[in-house]
Every structure is written in structure tokens, then in C-alpha cells.
A and B are shown apart, each in its own frame.
Chain A
């Protein structure tokens, strides 16, 4: 198959246009965070730093941010432990119902968020009689975060030769010692990647959160959603959006470096 110069050129242009469309809305948000118009009129009638100042002084915003970080940290910690245990069982053992278990991990993320959300809401409040709080959000988030850790660790374990673990046992190491000194060091970057994804997933989640957060608890996405439609607060949402996009470069940078170092290995 030979592609003519013209068709390569056309495909190149289509690619550039697609990327332009992907980045257009994000750049509009960036410009609007300096826009003097509250209705985000385009082109901006003037530029201002007011919204940035307002954002940095907003106590509700800061509280929501710290709630989100706490929830994401808790959910990631639980997901790391459960996901690793599960992937070790599925990668190293054969047992009845293995297929079902691997489907079970994916289910919380495969089913629509609203289904997971109202199912957990009903279970926490009606079945268990709990009050919704930051803990219920954490439990809910951990449930759908397990899969990201599981996928990453599973991929690593299946590529890792069990020889090393067997050699360690032959040399007299117990199971725990083998795990600590042989298996775990090789899982490092997979755990980091899985944990990073879990954190990002939890930090950004809105649907399940809406149904599992108590009335007093506000995560950052809930704060954004509540302030988006208020004319005086909407420009501040732009500022938050810009900060989130800029901060998201950090995990991408680490993920890329990890991928790079693994290719060289």
C-alpha cells in the first residue's frame, strides 16, 4: 500500500485540525480566567486579575480542595492494597471462578456512574443505616479505583518471570521476605502508575460523589458544579479550571518518565 503525498498531507491537516479542536475549549477557559466580562463574552472586552485574587481568597474553595485530596488519598491507599492482593491471586494461581473475579473488578467502572452512585447511596443509608460523610465517599471511590491498580500490577506480574520468586524461595527466603525483597521492588513503578490513575480518577469524580457525600461535605468537583451557574462565581471556576489543567501536567510528566525508563530497561 502506498499513500500519495496528497493523502498524507490531507491526513496531516486533519490531525492538526483535530488537535486544535481538542485544545480550543481549554484555551478559551484560560483566556476567560482573565476576562473582565462575567458572561465570558468573546472577544474579551478587557483583562483582569480579579478572579485569580478572588479564587486565592475563597475559603470554601480551599476547604473543598483539601477534602478532595483527603478522599483521593484514602481511596488510593485502599485501592493499592486491595488491587495488589487481587492481582497477585489472579496472576499466580488458577482457581474456579477466576473469570468472574476479573469481571467483578471491572464492573464498578463499567456500569454507569449513576447506577453505582444510587446503589451505594441506598446501601449506605437504607441498608446499613450510616450517615453519609467523607468516609462513605472514600469507600465508594476505593471500590471503582481498585481496577486501575489491579490492571497495572497485573500487567507487570504477567510479564515478570516467576523464576526469580522461585529462586528466592530455594535460597531459603520465606514468603514475606520474597515478597518484600524480590516481588515488591519490581512492582514499584506499576504501583506508582496505578496509584496515580486511582488518585486522578477519585479527584475528578462527580457522579458517584454526588450520591455518597453528606450534605455538609464538599469535594472540589461538587464545589465547581455548585458555583458554575452563579454569575459572580463562574469566572472563579475558570481560574480553578486553569489551575487543575496546569497541575495535571505533573502526573503526565511522571507517567511519561516512568514509561520512558521502563522502555530503556
Chain B
């Protein structure tokens, strides 16, 4: 309370000029708002939006095949090449497939554990479980991808665990990529679903039971519809993070490539082509976000 009782004195001691500025700002709401917004908006627009627009324009440039200089005449050559080229279609479909599978696997794993956390565990256990789920988020991305590299290696623990069952480790490849990406994004999928389950009132579930619904019916007809926005919110994370990833597939994916790899390999010698390829994940993400906007998922992020 001491802090606040010092206020009037502080006001009196303020020098006259500062006082006048303060009074001026107090009466001019627009000026105040402009001063608040000036620095952050300048930064975001100048650094980021300008860079994105420049990239968009670069996708319409081309590279002279002899001098490898960028030519600034606008052309749709690269965009067309990306849209019709066999390689790009294959890799784009593979990336999309991996993103879908990762999202489905993560959602299926997240649902039971989130349900247990939100509806069965005692408050104390619930707090501990939230920490346990959050903890790996703080461990470095590379560390986790690398951990799976050693788990899945031919001499690794997976082989050691599976050999007695007559099975082999999947080794490095698309399966390993899906496992690793699914592992990396799992906490991002669990948390929104857990938060969504917390918002489903227990009384509603009890009412459904009292009215004679079987547990499975309650889950399907009462719980699930209320959970859809949360599930989609989780899927936005796993989907978009997978669409842009190329490091994991380098570490555990063997020779397989995703869209990110094509971008990364072309940045050095053919930036316009790289920019055109990079537009694919951006367009897919925008499409996905507009498609799920109406479900209210964006408010659940």
C-alpha cells in the first residue's frame, strides 16, 4: 500500500515539461495509441511483412541458367514448374500425408491421457501430470529428434526391445519420421484437448447418465461435440509444424525428402524456385485455417 500512497507527491514533483507532455497525451487518445503502436508495428511490418512480400515477388523472378544471376523480370515459370513438376507433386503429397498421419496419431494418443488428466486424476495428480507432459517441451527440439535417432538405430534400444518378439526396428525412413514428429508435437496436441475437457462441465455428463444414456453414448453425443474445437486446435499445431519441418526428416528420415528439404536445397542456387516451393505449405496452412475458422478452434489455441 505504501507504493500507492506515494502517488500524489510523485505527481507534484514531476518537472513542468514532463507534466505538460503527460497532460497533452492524456487528452489525446489517438496520439497515445499511435505512440504505443509505432515501434512494434514498424518492426513487424518492416521486418516481417516486407520480407514476406519480397519473398512472394521473388517467386516470380527467375535465375539465368548460365550466370546464375537472379533476373527480375516477372514470370510464372517457377510457380508453374512447382505446380506441374513430378518431383514437387510427389514430395508435396508425401509431406501432406506425413502431416495428416502425425496429426491422427497424436490426437489418438492425446485423447485418453487428456481424459485421464482432466476427469479421473485427483487435483494433486492432475498438477503433476500437467508438469510431466509439459516438461519435454523445454527439452531442445534437436535433442529429442536425436534421441529417436539413437532409439531407432540398428543397435539401439528399439531393436533390443523388439528382437525377442521377432520384430525389427523400423530403422530410418518415413515411419521413423512420423514417430519422431508425432513425439515432438504430442504435448502441443495434449494441452488444448486437456483444456477443452476441463471446460466440459461434469454436471452435464452426469445429467446425461441420469437420463439413461450409456457411458459410450454420453462420450459420443455429449463430450465429443464439445471437444471438436479443442481437437482441431491441437491439430493446427501438429499439422503446421509438420508441414514446415525438414530437420527431423534429415535426422531420422534416411534419404526421404519433405517440402522443407526442397526449399532448403534450392535456397543457395535458385532462390526464386525455393520461394515458389515455400508457397505450397503457406497456401495449405491458409486453406486449413480458413476451413476450421468457423469451428471456433482458433480461440482454443
Contacts and interface: CB of A to CB of B under 8 A. Distances in A.
Interface of A: 1-4, 7-8, 11-12, 14-15, 18-19, 21-26, 28-29, 32, 37, 39-43, 78, 81-83, 85-86, 88-89, 93, 95, 101, 104-105, 107-108, 110-116, 118-123, 126-127, 139, 142-143, 146, 168-169, 171-177, 181-182, 185, 200, 204, 206-207, 210-211, 221, 224-225, 228, 237-238, 240-241, 244-245, 248-249, 251-252, 256
Contacts of A142: 43
Nearest to B187: A22
Interface in B1-39: 3-4, 6-8, 10-12, 14, 18-19, 22-23, 25-26, 29, 32-33, 36-37, 39
A3 B120 contact: yes
Contacts of B131: 252, 256
B88 to A, nearest CB: 15
Interface string B140-152: 1111101111110
A248 B139 contact: yes
A13 B153 CA distance: 28
A193 to B, nearest CB: 13
Contacts of B133: 19, 22
Contacts of A82: 39-40, 43
A244 B285 CA distance: 32
B182 to A, nearest CB: 10
A40 B140 contact: no
B51 A15 contact: no
A241 B139 CA distance: 8
Interface in B243-301: 243-247, 251, 260, 263-264, 267, 271, 274-275, 278, 281-282, 285
A252 B138 contact: yes
A139 B134 CA distance: 28
B213 to A, nearest CB: 7
Nearest to A174: B22
Contact of B282 (A12, A88, A111, A245): A111
A15 B19 contact: no
A206 B141 contact: yes
B48 A107 contact: yes
Given A25-B183, A26-B144, A244-B139, A115 B240 contact: no
A112 B243 contact: yes
B170 interface: no
Nearest to B110: A18
Contacts of A207: 244, 246-247, 260
Contact of A85 (B7, B10, B36): B36
Contact of B240 (A19, A41, A112, A240): A112
Contacts of B159: 42
Contacts of A78: 43
Interface of A is mostly: helix
Interface string B119-140: 0100000000101111110111
A74 B211 CA distance: 59
A221 to B, nearest CB: 5
Contact of B142 (A121, A127, A171, A224): A224
A32 B274 CA distance: 38
A206 B169 CA distance: 28
A227 to B, nearest CB: 10
A224 B146 CA distance: 9
Contact of A101 (B41, B142, B244, B271): B41
A176 B18 contact: yes
15 contacts: A1-B218, A2-B215, A25-B147, A26-B144, A95-B33, A123-B51, A126-B70, A127-B51, A173-B10, A174-B11, A174-B19, A182-B7, A204-B141, A211-B267, A245-B138
B96 interface: no
A122 B271 contact: yes
Contact of A32 (B148, B150, B263): B150
B40 A85 contact: yes
B209 interface: yes
B2 to A, nearest CB: 11
A93 B47 contact: no
B104 interface: no
A23 B8 CA distance: 56
Nearest to B52: A119
B227 to A, nearest CB: 14
Contact of A172 (B3, B7, B43): B7
Nearest to A101: B41
B120 A122 contact: no
A130 to B, nearest CB: 12
Contacts of B186: 22
B11 A173 contact: yes
B124 to A, nearest CB: 13
A211 B140 CA distance: 19
A237 B142 CA distance: 10
Interface in B178-231: 183, 186, 205-206, 208-209, 213, 215, 218-219, 222
